[in-house]
Structure 1
Amino acid sequence: MAAACFAAQQAHADEGGVSLWLPGNFGSLAATPGTPGWSWATVYYHASVSAGAGQQFPRGGRVDVGIAGQADLAFFGPTYVFATPVLGGQAAVSLLGVAGRNEGSAALSLTGPLGNTIALNRTQDLVSYGDVIPQVTLKWNQGVNNYMVYGMGNIPIGDYDSNRLANLGIGHGAIDFGGGYTYFNPVTGNEFSGVVGLTYNFKNTHTNYQNGTDFHFDWGASHFFNKQLQLGLVGYYFQQITDDFGAPAALGGFRSRIAGVGPQIGYIFPMGDKLSGYLNLKGYKEFAAQNRPEGWNTWLTFAISPAAEPPAAAKPLSRKY
């Protein structure tokens, strides 16, 4: 159940120094199978990031210098977990969306046909909707070991304008795939999860810019003090592994990097006889940024899923005489 709440992500372009993949997307219990049926996850995401005045970022055919941004977003969507096994594992499909407010600011450096450069400061904000992200997962359980493979894509129907600083859509398609592992021992209450993946970005036809391939690793470690309360740590590492196409020559391949780490707390509670609720709060402080703004972000997740079926009562032994 808890794994479903980590399946939402925001979409941005490497063009502006931020990726399609939102680091921290997966966390604790990511690879554990869920309860068959429909579930729903809603995530409130707040982030504040900035990059120094000496750092340059390509965006929409221009160069932005010293960018900053703030986001207050809601990620939401249903997940359906199939009861019938697929390749010996448990399959699930999700359809996720995003809406909220995004604010961006930058010092813009514009170069004219005669080589003259005009610099100006600019701030914009946008309240709108983002792209739609379908996702498929397949998970296997072997005692305390759990394994997962996943695939997702980006359908670029969100609010996007290459001339704006603030966007909720990315203006191009993308695919992401990877795998994960969760160790969870219900007896000791100890858990560790890690998920790795790669993102391939298609060309942004609005700007003739194509982001490079991104590698990402999200992890979470926690301890369940009882069947309800969970405390632990979360972290991520993001590294672009191939060059962008379309970046100004002065910026080279414009490969980006970022890492983050922080605490988490989770709480599981019943919602009647047939549903379970899950609340999770986690936060990240970022560091080691390269060609990417750096700051902090928090996630508040509320997920509803079918309650796990109680173990079947043991049948009394019978004896023939």
Structure 2
Amino acid sequence: MRNEMCGLRPGLCAAALAATMILPVNPAGAVEGGIGAYFLGTRDTFAGFVPEPGTYVSLSFDHLEGSVEGISVGGLPIAADADLELNLWRLSATQVFDAQVFGGTPAVNLTVPFPFADLTFTAIRPPLQGASIDDSVSGFGDLTLTGMVGWHRGNLHYSTGMSVYAPTGNYDTASINFQERTIDALSVGKNVWSFQPYFAATWFVPERGFEASGAISFLLSEKNSATDYQTAPALQLEGAVVQRFRSGWGVGLAGYTYQQLDDDSGRGAELTKLALGASSLRARVSGIGPLVTFQGGTLLGAEASLKLKYTHEFAAKRRLESNVLSAVVSLSF
């Protein structure tokens, strides 16, 4: 079935791996920093599909513009409304093995992120009250390693695995320059190990070009020892519906919802609650938007696919609410 699918849709395997394998990062609310270790919406099209053995490479770009009402960054509670602009590049390499594990196909993925972020707000409390704050950061972020196994049953394709987010990106606690009325708070890393078990499934009918995919995952993070901040576990639900055409183009809709399952804890969280006047830091957000795909091209001698997506977030609490433009180019060798 895997060979049949890839044969019917050149570049299909590359497109499938783009959905399952490109995993995040973020700059360093709630979720400490306003964004979790997992970049929401990554598992959309072909979320449950692990293709035939081979090597797959993807390059993704995400442009995010978001705002949040109260946030903790680098251990510094910011009570003012803050805006974040993030340009995130992610290079992903996946190896699907010619072997079987529990009757399924095993694979491993490594994702390397390069975030460029800018945080702006107007301070509302002394001694920086009235100051326009602009803090920027860029560099090599937190690596993600994902192991998975995928199975195929006719038009149904499903997989399970675990993503591990390693604190490889530089992290510093926030510092304030009172004389120049500036802060240095953003970091390219989270300073914690995070773990994300997931299950995903895809229903794909090749002769009709119809796909429906969904994924459920849990994000668990250790305590940030530098800020004594424990981000609570979170549940992520993601999905996509796509109609593909013989021309190679496809259109669809993708969305997600994120919900922390408990309140954040630790001294850092308690100080953040006090500074923000909040009774709870439990975060949530949802997002939805259109997507366009194309399969059938070649690049560097490999089958190539392209995915473009726009996501509008809503119902956010204690977390960034953003508009996100995403582009993914995937190659199948």
Report the TM-score, using the length of structure 1 for normalisation: 0.87
Whose helix proportion is higher, 1 or 2? Answer: 2
Q: Distance in 1 between matches of 2:326 and 2:42?
A: 10
Residues 1:196 and 1:16: Cα distance change in structure 2 (over 3 Å): same
- The residue aligned with 1:105 is 120
The Cα shift of 1:109 comes to: 6.4
Contact 1:40–1:79 at 8 Å: present in 2 too?
A: yes
Please give the per-residue CA displacement for 1:117-157, whole angstroms capped at 9, x wherever unaligned. Answer: 75344211112110111001111110011111120111101
Tell me the percent identity: 24
Residues matched between the structures, number: 298
**Equivalent of residue 234 in structure 2, options 214, 231, 242:** 214
Please give the per-residue CA displacement for 1:66-116, whole angstroms capped at 9, x wherever unaligned. Answer: 111001111012100011111111111011111141111234567xxxxx8
- The residue aligned with 1:63 is 77
Please give the per-residue CA displacement for 1:258-304, whole angstroms capped at 9, x wherever unaligned. Answer: 11111111111243897310111011011111111212001100010
**Equivalent of residue 204 in structure 2, options 184, 191, 198:** 184
Confirm whether residue 199 of structure 1 aligns to residue 214 of structure 2.
no
The Cα shift of 1:12 comes to: 4.7
- The residue aligned with 1:230 is 250
Q: Distance in 2 between matches of 1:255 and 1:136?
A: 29
Q: Distance in 2 between matches of 1:105 and 1:162?
A: 17
Letter in 1 for 2:143: V
- The residue aligned with 2:102 is 87
Residue 16 of structure 1 aligns to a residue in which SS?
coil
The structure with higher relative contact order (CA 8 Å, sep 6+) is: 2
Confirm whether residue 11 of structure 1 aligns to residue 39 of structure 2.
no
Q: Distance in 2 between matches of 1:294 and 1:273?
A: 37
Contact 2:299–2:331 at 8 Å: present in 1 too?
A: no
Letter in 1 for 2:323: W
Please give the per-residue CA displacement for 1:135-191, whole angstroms capped at 9, x wherever unaligned. Answer: 011111100111111201111010222213332211111111110111101121110
**Larger displacement relative to structure 2 (173-182 or 241-250):** 241-250
Q: Distance in 2 between matches of 1:193 and 1:56?
A: 34
**Equivalent of residue 32 in structure 1, options 44, 49, 58:** 49
Residues 1:25 and 1:179: Cα distance change in structure 2 (over 3 Å): same
Q: Distance in 2 between matches of 1:217 and 1:18?
A: 16
The Cα shift of 1:243 comes to: 1.3
Confirm whether residue 257 of structure 1 aligns to residue 284 of structure 2.
yes
Q: Distance in 2 between matches of 1:254 and 1:101?
A: 26
Residue 32 of structure 2 aligns to a residue in which SS?
helix
**Larger displacement relative to structure 2 (223-232 or 147-156):** 223-232
Q: Which has the larger radius of gyration?
A: 1
Matches within 5 A, 1:120-159: 120-159=131-170
Contact 2:76–2:185 at 8 Å: present in 1 too?
A: no
Letter in 2 for 1:59: V
The Cα shift of 1:3 comes to: 2.2
The Cα shift of 1:11 comes to: 3.3
Residue 133 of structure 2 aligns to a residue in which SS?
strand
- The residue aligned with 2:7 is none
Residues 1:252 and 1:201: Cα distance change in structure 2 (over 3 Å): farther
Q: Distance in 1 between matches of 2:71 and 2:48?
A: 35
**Larger displacement relative to structure 2 (55-64 or 297-306):** 55-64
| C-alpha RMSD of the superposition | 1.9
